[in-house]
Amino acid sequence: MSDLKIIARREVKETLRRPIFWISTLVFPLFMAAILFLNNASEKALAQKAEQQLKEATKIILVDKAGVIDPATVSDKVFEFSDNAASAKQAVVDGQADATFIYQTDIAKTGKVQVIENQTSDGNPLNIGRYNDLAVNLVQQSAFNSIPDPLSRQLANETLQTDTTTYHNGQPAKQLGDYLAPALVLGAYFLLLILTPNIFLMSVTEEKENRAMEMILTAVKLKDFILGKLSGLTLAAIAQILMLASISIVGFIIFGGNLPDGINFSLSSINWVQLALAVFYLLSGFIIIASLLIGVGSLATNAREAGNMVGPVIMLTIFPIYFITFILQDPSGGLALGTSYFPLTAPFILQVRNALGVIPTSEVIFSVITLATYTVAAVFLSLSMFKVGALDYNKRVSLKRLRNSLIKRK
Amino acid sequence: MKEMSKQPIVKIRDFSKAFGSKQVIKDLSFEVGSGEVFAFLGANGSGKTTTLRCLLGIYEADKGSLKVKGHKYQSSMSAILGYMPEERGLYLNGRVKETLIYFAELKGVSRLSAHKRATDYLQRVELASLAESKIKNLSSGQQQKIQIGTAVINNPELLILDEPTKGLDPINRQLLLELLEEHNRRGATIIFSTHIMEEVEEIADRLVMIKDGQRRLYGEVNKVKREFGSNTIHLKFSGKLPTSKLYTARSSKYSAELRPADAISSDQILAFLASHKDLSISNFDVSSPSLREIFVQLHGEEAKL
């Protein structure tokens, strides 16, 4: 077996043994699911509690100066009409009524219903405004009841969906579902940027922290060592993404299995060239970042120090997220083009533009050549940096020494 | 003791190396014959580790040639090499047997054979029961055994050990020396650096001693000692050793090496010592100086042994 394979196999094995790998792979989605679940449960609990409190209401006074409330809507004995707004308010203040809703004559102009309520006995601030929806719903239900035509009434009561067909230059335009596959690849890239740097830095500083580098360098070519590490870590990252994808798919199926409205997805809607391009951008971007992490990390003496050193690299790679709106608004503009060819932002921006399908064929070829060049350059830079820092067990390599070593080597 | 009669397995010629403005090694030349046990001696910072690192291609030499079996060392030659660096290093989170297998495979041993060799080695050093333990859970002595194991797991033709007994207790030191003898008996060449001169006298055939990056002594151990002088008095005594212009002394509590001053014979010194009633001599012999004495004289009082 070649040295590269032996090293790659060890990297995969060791990475899969690291608790941080499983924490980021399993705990991260579980944590997200738990947050969603708790959020949902909490909203439901609040809604149930509010409903319960409404049921517990004994008297709600309606002052309908605008005449917009249909008496049939408020047949429940809890409601009571009044013409005197002042006394209705005072009834709430005195604790004789739970709430008073005042519908002023200019309601159509102001769009407002005045609600006077008593706070719940437990003083919970979250219950403030618990009658607001009811006060509004009474108007809307009354308006709905006033529609004479049964069909119109039915349509007014339903949430209608749209079935959109869009044309572009006389041809059917892409649907949202067509963007899904490259968008998922982009999501995978973003996840890799978030989840893998720590694992990489732990791996790259392992030999230095354990002072095993000298023995390694007498047995393995530096190139094989770096490429072996890179291959092993890339395989582990792919395994991580596949596991995350599997968890997401299982979760998606368990929790309904429906895409949001307006997104239709099928295998036939995948543009395989576009998808292949997205995967190329992802892999080259990942290798560029991983190489830089290995290179910069090798200049440090331990994983923590390396973490501080690679902070700016990570920041630059995720920086485009802050101006993504501008890119989406004008995916072929100057900002989009400029950041498409800066090494650290290129993989992300090119993936966004690829997902939008706005990269012309000539630029596709140029971008592939450029990213391939960046990838090779990043690997070589990483090799050079590693050679400088590999045996400095006790001290961080200074920028001056790095610069001198790189220049001397050239 | 062997003369350097066989073909050299290591050949260093006019080797120089500087780090910045500091010249670490200057025009160093020596050879190590195949099958020899060769000691590489020098004080701390004298350039021993730098020389070994340059020999193994870890550092680039500024000048000269450093060859192993007639070629500049490359990692592709790792099948013939066993190396234990001064900076000990093992994957502390790795498991004992796995680590041995990993290094064996990197040196070209098949996985199957690596398994067998790792098992055999662990039995040899009485660590078989800890094969699946993490290295960080081992004592420092046990870790040192694994470190040595990673160097010898491929039955190397050339074994280079940078201060191999550093940090070893007497039992593990003896075990290491036995292991080295075993590998030497099967034909391996052993180069080791050390500060413990008794070890050199115990196992080395030849030596090179460097000071300030330059070669000072080189050759067969006994020959080097003879060349340095054959009239050193080795004394065992109780009481107080007197100071005198007749000799320069290097002494411990009960023993001393006395180097006669010019034109002073050992008989004169014996007579002088015998005249001192508070000194009782139990042993008195005249022979070559020990390597320790030579080392100290060569490096001066500032040398740290």
Domains located in chain B, CATH noted: 8-226 (3.40.50.300), 231-287 (no CATH)
Chain A neighbors of B58, CB-CB under 8 A? 214, 217-218, 391
A20 at interface of B, judged by CB pairs closer than 8 A: no
Taking an 8 Å cut-off on Cβ atoms, the answer to whether A217 and B75 are in contact is: yes
Between A14, A206, A215, which is nearest B85 by CB?
Answer: A215
For residue B84, is it left (φ>0), alpha (ψ between -120 and 50) or beta?
A: beta
- Collect all residues of chain A within an 8 Å Cβ-Cβ radius of residue B151: 215
Look at residue A166 and tell me whether its pLDDT is greater than 90: no
Query: Per the domain annotation, does A53 fall within a domain?
Result: no
User: Domain boundary residue among A111, A128, A157?
Assistant: A157
On whether any CB of chain B is under 8 Å from the CB of A16, the answer is no
Quick one: A189 and A116 in the same domain? no
Question: Does B19 contact A at CB distance below 8 Å?
Answer: no
Closest CA to B92 of A389, A209, A229, A213: A209
**DSSP H or E run through A60:** strand A60-64
Domain membership of residue A46 (yes or no) is no
DSSP single-letter state for residue B75: G
Q: Is any Cβ of chain A less than 8 angstroms from the Cβ of B111?
A: yes
Q: Please check whether residue A37 lies inside any domain of the structure.
A: no
**B278 touches A: beta carbon within 8 Å:** no
* Percent of chain B with pLDDT strictly greater than 70: 96
For the stretch B80-91, pLDDT in tens is 999 998 877 888
Q: Is residue A51 part of a domain?
A: no
Count of helices and strands (H, E) across chain A: 19, 6
Considering the domain architecture, whether residues A249 and A397 belong to the same structural domain is answered as yes
Q: What is the pLDDT of residue A53?
A: 66
pLDDT for position A258: 67
Residues A191, A148 share a domain: no
Q: Which of residues 211-240 of A touch B (CB under 8 A)?
A: 211-221, 224
Summarised one tens digit per residue, pLDDT across range A262-279 is: 666 666 677 888 889 999
The secondary structure of A384-401 as a DSSP string is HHHHHHTT--SSPPPHHH
Same domain, A198 and A342: yes
Take residue A391 and report the two structure tokens written for it: 């045996």
In this prediction, residue B304 carries a pLDDT of 41
Q: Which residues of A touch B91 (CB under 8 A)?
A: 206, 210, 212
Structure tokens at B12: 């260093």
Render pLDDT for A297-328 as a digit per residue (tens, 0 to 9): 888 877 788 888 888 888 888 888 888 889 88
A6: nearest CB among B56, B88, B105? B105
Start-to-end Cα distance in chain A: 33
**What chain B residue is nearest to A224 in terms of C-alpha separation?**
B75
Which of A157, A189, A214 delimits the end of a domain?
Answer: A157
Compute the half-sphere exposure of residue A352: CA atoms within 13 Å on the CB side of its CA: 23
Distance from CA of B299 to the nearest CA of A (A): 28
pTM above 0.90, yes or no: no
Tell me which of A43-47, A75-79, B43-47, B193-197 is least confident. A43-47
Same domain? A241 vs A364: yes
**Number of domains observed in the structure of chain A:** 2
A10 touching B, CB under 8 A?
Answer: yes
Q: Which two tokens stand for residue A238?
A: 């792919």
Greater confidence (B230 vs B64) lies with B64
B301 pLDDT higher than 70: no
Does residue A257 come out as left (phi exceeding 0), alpha (psi in the -120 to 50 range) or beta? left
CA distance A196 to chain B (A): 20
- Rounded-to-integer distance, Cα B225 and Cα B202, Å: 14
Chain B touched by A155 (CB under 8 Å):
no
Instruction: Give the least confident one: A28-32, A267-271, B66-70, B164-168.
Output: A267-271
Chains A & B: contacts with CB separation below 8 Å: 66
Strand-pair category, A79-81 with A60-64: parallel
Query: Which residues from A are below 8 Å from B53, CB to CB?
Result: 214
Q: Given pLDDT bands bounded at 50, 70 and 90, which one contains residue B303?
A: very low
Together in a domain, A287 and A199: yes
- Which residues from chain B sit within 8 angstroms of residue A214, using beta carbons? 53, 58, 83, 85, 87, 89
Residues sharing a CB contact under 8 Å with residue A261, sequence separation 6 or more, in sequence order: A161
State whether A153 and A188 are in the same domain: no
ipTM attached to this prediction: 0.77
The answer as to whether A170 is a domain residue is no
Q: How does residue A409 score in pLDDT terms, banded at 50, 70 and 90?
A: low
- Which chain B residues are Cβ-neighbours of A6 within 8 angstroms? 102, 105-106
Strand order in the sheet with A114-117: A79-81, A60-64, A99-103, A114-117
Classify burial at B139, counting beta carbons within 10 Å of its beta carbon; exposed 0-12, middle 13-18, buried 19 or more.
exposed
Could you report the per-residue pLDDT of A348-377, keeping only the tens digit for each?
999 999 988 889 999 999 999 999 999 999
Report which secondary-structure segment, H or E, holds A49: helix A28-56
CA distance B147 to chain A (A): 10
Residue numbers of the domain that contains A137 = 58-157
List of chain B residues whose C-beta atoms are within 8 Å of the C-beta of residue A20: none
Residue A125, number of CB atoms within 10 A of its CB: 8
Once rounded to an integer, what is the mean pLDDT over residues B286-297? 82
- Determine, yes or no, domain membership for A210: yes
Q: Do B53 and A214 touch (CB under 8 A)?
A: yes
Distance from CA of A43 to the nearest CA of B (A): 46
Q: Do A67 and A187 fall within a single domain?
A: no
Claim to verify: residue A146 and residue A252 sit in the same structural domain: no
C-beta separation of B52 from B190 below 8 A: no
Q: Same domain for A83 and A114? A: yes
Report the alpha-carbon distance of residue B189 to residue B9 in Å, rounded.
8
Instruction: Tell which of A100, A126, A157 closes a domain.
Output: A157
In this model, does residue A43 exceed pLDDT 50?
A: yes
B159 to chain A, minimum CA–CA distance in Å?
A: 12
Percent of chain B with pLDDT over 90: 49
| Contact call for B106 and A1, based on CB within 8 A | no
Tell me if chain B has a CB within 8 Å of the CB of A5.
no
The nearest alpha carbon in chain B to A220 belongs to: B75
A70-87 confidence digits (pLDDT tens): 888 887 788 899 999 999
Pick from B25, B70, B74, B30: which is nearest to B220 by CA? Answer: B30
Interface of A with B in 369-408 (CB under 8 A): 391, 393
Chain A hits for B90, CB-CB cut-off 8 Å, are 210, 212
CATH number for the domain including A121?
3.40.190
The DSSP secondary-structure symbol of A120 reads: P
CA distance A294 to chain B (A): 18
What is the Cα A80 distance to its own chain's centre?
49
Residue B248, beta-bridge partner list: B259
Q: What radius of gyration, in Å, describes the C-alpha atoms of chain A? A: 31
Average pLDDT of the segment spanning A398-409: 70
Alpha-carbon span B196 to B173, nearest angstrom: 12
**In terms of domains, do A131 and A268 share one?**
no
Nearest CA in chain B to A387: B58
For an interface test with A, give the residue of B105, B191, B193 to mutate (most A CBs within 10 A).
B105
For residue A10, what is the nearest residue in chain B, using CA coordinates? B102
For residue A18, give both structure tokens.
Answer: 């690291």
Same domain membership, residue A330 and residue A205? yes
Asked if residue A351 is part of any domain, the answer here is: yes
pLDDT band, residue B4 (cuts 50/70/90)? low
Q: Show residues of chain B in contact with A207, CB under 8 Å.
A: 89
Which residues 6+ apart lie within 8 Å of B189 measured at CB?
B9, B10, B32, B33, B34, B35, B36, B37, B38, B157, B158, B159
Q: Are B29 and B215 in contact (CB under 8 A)?
A: yes
Condensed to tens digits (0 to 9), the pLDDT of residues B201-241 reads 888 999 999 998 899 899 998 888 888 777 788 889 999 89
CA distance B131 to B134: 8
Closest chain A residue by Cα to residue B101: A6
Which chain B residues have a beta carbon less than 8 Å from that of A221?
A: 74-76
Instruction: Tell whether the model's pLDDT for residue B180 goes beyond 60.
Output: yes
Residue B123 has pLDDT above 80, yes or no: yes
Q: Is some CB atom of chain A closer than 8 A to the CB atom of B81? A: yes
